[in-house]
Amino acid sequence: MNHIITLFIQLATRLEAASKSSHERDELIKSWEDDTFAGFSSSSKCRKKINKVAPERKYSNRSNGTVNGSLDYGEYASDREIRRRLSRLNKKSMDSESETSDDMDKSSEYSKSNTDSTSSDTESDTELKSQSQTGQSRADGSFTPDEGFDSMTDDREWGARMTKSSLVPPVTRKYEVIEEYVIVSNEEDVKRKMQVSLPDDYVEKLNSQKSGTEESDMELPEVKDYKPRKMLGEEVLEQEVYGIDPYSHNLLLDSMPEELDWDLAEKHMFVEDVLLRTLNKQVRRYTGSGNTPMIYPLHPVVEEILKGAEEDGDVRTVRMCQGILKAIESRRDDKYVAYRKGLGVVCNKEEGFGEEDFVVEFLGEVYPVWKWFEKQDGIRSLQKNNKDPAPEFYNIYLERPKGDADGYDLVVVDAMHKANYASRICHSCRPNCEAKVTAVDGRYQIGIYAVRKIQYGEEVTFDYNSVTESKEEYEASVCLCGSQVCRGSYLNLTGEGAFQKVLKEWHGTLDRHQLMLEACELNSVSEEDYLELGRAGLGSCLLGGLPDWVIAYSARLVRFINFERTKLPEEILKHNLEEKRKYFSDICLEVEKSDAEVQAEGVYNQRLQNLAVTLDKVRYVMRCAFGNPKDAPPPLERLSPLEAVSFLWKGEGSLVQELLQSMAPHVEEHLLNDLRTKILARDPSGSDDIWKELKRSLLWLRDEVRNLPCTYKSRNDAAADLIHIYAYTRCFVRIREYKTVTSPPVYISPLDLGPKYTEKLGSGFQEYCKTYGENYCLGQLIFWYNQTSAEPDCSLARASRGCLSLPNFSSFYAKVQKPSLQRVYGPRTVKFMLARMEKQPQRPWPKDRIWSFDNSPKVIGSPMLDAAVHKSHLDREMVHWLKHRPAIFQAMWDR
């Protein structure tokens, strides 16, 4: 049995690695073009978010493996080990960064859209059979949704990570059919972003790129002549479609007779083309029937292929089908089934569609980016339980090409409520179409174009190239395209692991504040800044109207993005090799290097996209707060020496005043008054060298406080250490707050919120008004790479604890009779603090220790910020004192 397990793992290796080139595969497809099997192909009908139209994923040949014969599955422990390893193997694809939107909606069979404003109101069945029918087979051989449910879920964890949630019936989505884009808000601004502006030397640049004489990241606008979309009901149809996950694909390969003279590519194409098209030909009858099964057996599909092959005298295909049917009959524990995806779009033109044919534009409501994210924040706030499944998404970013004369920018096209049939097109990891931004009649649009010949009856698909920062969402988003190169999920995972390593190491909280402070102090844009931004494709469309300090900060972010672009391929390669060596002995280094470069390029594009989203958000808030965004003042201002004295020593609400107030309940009055008198006498503001005198005064105060008696409620020793840290801080920065802004409401339907809210809330819309706090713009600019936080200003306060904003003196003076055991300040706490300061200066300090922090500090400053600003190490004298000063008090729990 161990030998069999080894063979099976080798099989998985070959299936993962071996593939023909796309050209060879497409040539092979042509050999399969036979009217006998004119059916429908596969895709994944699941929720999606479309970010952008990304470059096509590259698949490289790894090896030329062959498939071993059928295996004995009697030993379930071994089965589980194989499944566990294959499941881990399939968590790898995270390469591009665009997102689109998929559909789980319903539609009537072969319904045709009217040119008038109508509703697409056809429904797939959302109700299951009653519980009395649970677990029973249907008369036509298909399964009811719960039949063998648990065991099937376990089996399918092999390659697809399919979960029960993936088998929930699709949500009924009724939308208004539209013929052109509908702008939701800021119509003038959105039209400007969608307006084509060709560079003066467009033709020359285009010819240079086509001839290969000029390599450039600046993708030029792709100008297309207007062509009408394929007519729904005539040239394309909507119908229920089904697919298989990677486990089912591998199971079919394993079931093919060993002795057949089929090479591996032919076997893959039998599954992807013949079997899946026949499958969707059989299930067409369920469209609009109201009783569509979630699971459909593959046995009758193979039988139909066998029957057609016998009629045509195709001996090779007959033997193939007979072998698979024999395996299905003998391997009762394996589930040879397909899974429902929802409605798909299929080619209904007898001669098919040619390569580069225009199929349809992706229409919907167009949102400015800031408005779209307000709606997403509203959706999250209205979902009562944050563990609720995320709602369906039908949105795509329409992104201006970087080579446009006015540069890159983006808007969001949402097809949830107003759309055309493009929003029903399914995902495939090996698609026959691509979604790309094209310039038609002077305006950008998202068009779906064929990348190869599409046969009559074949499903229209494109690769969503979707991304998510949620591992749970990634693992639940199972792909059912059934292709050999299926990634297992229609989402790509970003936001963790190797993709973030350069960001964490070189662009931490302190680094970003240093860049922001530098931009705020200059408050001007240099020629080099403009050149840097221009080389990244950022021009007047995105940057117009922003204050100079924002543009200067953006240029510094672009420099980091370019730096990350050079460093990241090495980090991704290292990570990928470490992971794959756990499973494979033979690894092609050149292929892995190529994949790492592709993935790093995807991260680069996503970084620029997130920067553009951030700038659109802050421009809107600044417009609301100041009228003209250019009038928004820099949010960071370095304190002068006199201002620092006021903040630390003698001003209203100064840190010394806070210290004295905190100490008052714990120190005898005459000692406290004596200390106040001495503090007034040591005012450093009259000195010729204020910084030097301020440091000397703070070090004196440190020693005075250390000489005061300590108790478990009055930790003067800890307060003295904090004074010492302040004494070695030179860079104090005031945070300038903007006024709070509340937006007009966005309207959210139950469908926006998710399936279960439709029943709870009815058909009415919910209003949500977004409120932007005083530090929203600063927080969003600091966390420019992350768009998942609704309140980046709160995230900023949390991230600043300790590393930027030192603890409050009140932390060390208890106001209760029995302090918490968290109030420990022994050698281990000091050692932890020093380790965080020296080795992890960018990380915030934890709240579960003795320290407490302001939720919204008005002034920040720390030795760690000093080191970032001056690009130096921590002051050795400061660290040495903290490490070697004698302990003067030790509470019981300090030990």
Interval 570-598 mean pLDDT:
86
Least confident interval from 9-13, 235-239, 708-712, 860-864:
9-13
Residue 444's DSSP bridge partners are: 439
* CB 603 within 8 Å of CB 95: no
Burial of 189 (0-12, 13-18, 19+ CB in 10 A): middle
Greater pLDDT, 144 or 786? 786
Q: Which neighbouring-strand residues pair with 175?
A: 120
User: Confidence class of residue 230 from pLDDT cuts 50, 70 and 90?
Assistant: very high
Higher-confidence position of 500 and 520:
520
Chain segment 31-83, per-residue pLDDT in tens: 444 433 333 333 333 333 333 343 333 222 323 232 223 333 333 333 444 34
**b/e for 389-427, b at 16 or more Cβ within 10 A?**
bbbbbbbbbbbbbbbbebbbbbbbbbbbbbbbbbbbbbb
pLDDT of residue 711: 86
Per-residue pLDDT at 174 exceeds 60: yes
Residue 510 has pLDDT above 90, yes or no: yes
Instruction: Please state the domain extents for the chain.
Output: 2-62+76-130+149-493, 497-631, 637-737+785-894
Per-residue pLDDT for 638 more than 90? yes
The C-alpha atoms of residue 423 and residue 364 are separated, in whole angstroms, by 9
Contact 417, 395 (CB under 8 A): no
Report how far residue 326's alpha carbon sits from residue 390's, in angstroms, rounded to the nearest whole number: 41
The yes-or-no verdict on residue 128 having pLDDT over 80 is: no
> What are the CA-CA distances from residue 456 to residues 27, 280, 348, 506, 574 (Å)?
17, 13, 6, 53, 45
In which band, very low, low, confident or very high, does the pLDDT at 819 lie, cut at 50, 70 and 90? Answer: low
Confidence of residue 584 (pLDDT cuts 50, 70, 90): confident
- pLDDT at site 79: 40
Q: Is the pLDDT of residue 390 over 70?
A: no
Confidence of residue 604 (pLDDT cuts 50, 70, 90): very high
Residue whose C-alpha is closest to residue 790's, from 746, 760, 755: 746
Dump pLDDT digits (tens) for 327-350: 999 998 899 999 999 889 999 999
Least confident of 383-387, 645-649, 762-766: 383-387
More confident residue, 733 or 86: 733
The token duo for 299 is 């046995």
Percent of the chain with pLDDT over 70: 77
Please give the pLDDT value at position 586. Answer: 81
Least confident of 198-202, 598-602, 773-777: 598-602
Q: Tell me, what's the pLDDT at 215?
A: 63
pLDDT at residue 70 in the model = 31
pLDDT for 50 = 38
For residue 393, the model assigns a pLDDT of: 74
Least confident window among 169-173, 645-649, 668-672 = 169-173
Rounded to an integer, the average pLDDT of 88-109 is: 36
Average pLDDT for residues 228-238, to the nearest whole number?
A: 95
Q: pLDDT at position 170, please?
A: 53
Per cent of the chain over pLDDT 90 is 61
Query: Is the per-residue pLDDT at 107 higher than 70?
Result: no
Q: What is the mean pLDDT of the segment spanning 215-226?
A: 87
Phi, psi of 814 (to 5 degrees): -75, 140
pLDDT exceeds 90 at position 578: no
Give the residue-averaged pLDDT of 285-302. 92
Strand, coil or helix: what is 67?
coil
Give the mean pLDDT of 837-861. Answer: 93
Residue 622, classed as helix, strand or coil, is helix
Residue 319 is predicted with a pLDDT of 95
Predicted confidence (pLDDT) at residue 476 exceeds the cutoff of 80: no
Give the pLDDT of residue 290: 85
- pLDDT at residue 172, as a whole number: 52
Which residues contact residue 244 at a Cβ distance below 8 angstroms, ignoring those fewer than 6 apart? 42, 252, 271, 276, 298, 338, 339, 480, 482
Q: Where residue 575 falls among pLDDT bands split at 50, 70, 90?
A: confident
With bands split at pLDDT 50, 70 and 90, how would you rate the model's confidence at 579? confident
Report which of 383, 457, 611, 461 is spatially closest to residue 48, judged by C-alpha positions. Answer: 461
Please give the pLDDT value at position 542. 97
| pTM of the shown model | 0.80
Q: What is the pLDDT of residue 210?
A: 81
| Mean pLDDT score, 664-681 | 93
* Best-predicted range by mean pLDDT (86-100, 235-249, 474-488, 756-770): 235-249
At residue 749 the predicted structure's pLDDT band, cuts being 50, 70 and 90, is: confident
Residue 159 banded pLDDT, cuts 50, 70, 90: very low
Average pLDDT, the chain: 81
Which pLDDT band holds residue 288 (cuts at 50, 70, 90)? Answer: confident
What's the pLDDT at 652?
86
pLDDT at 753 over 60: yes
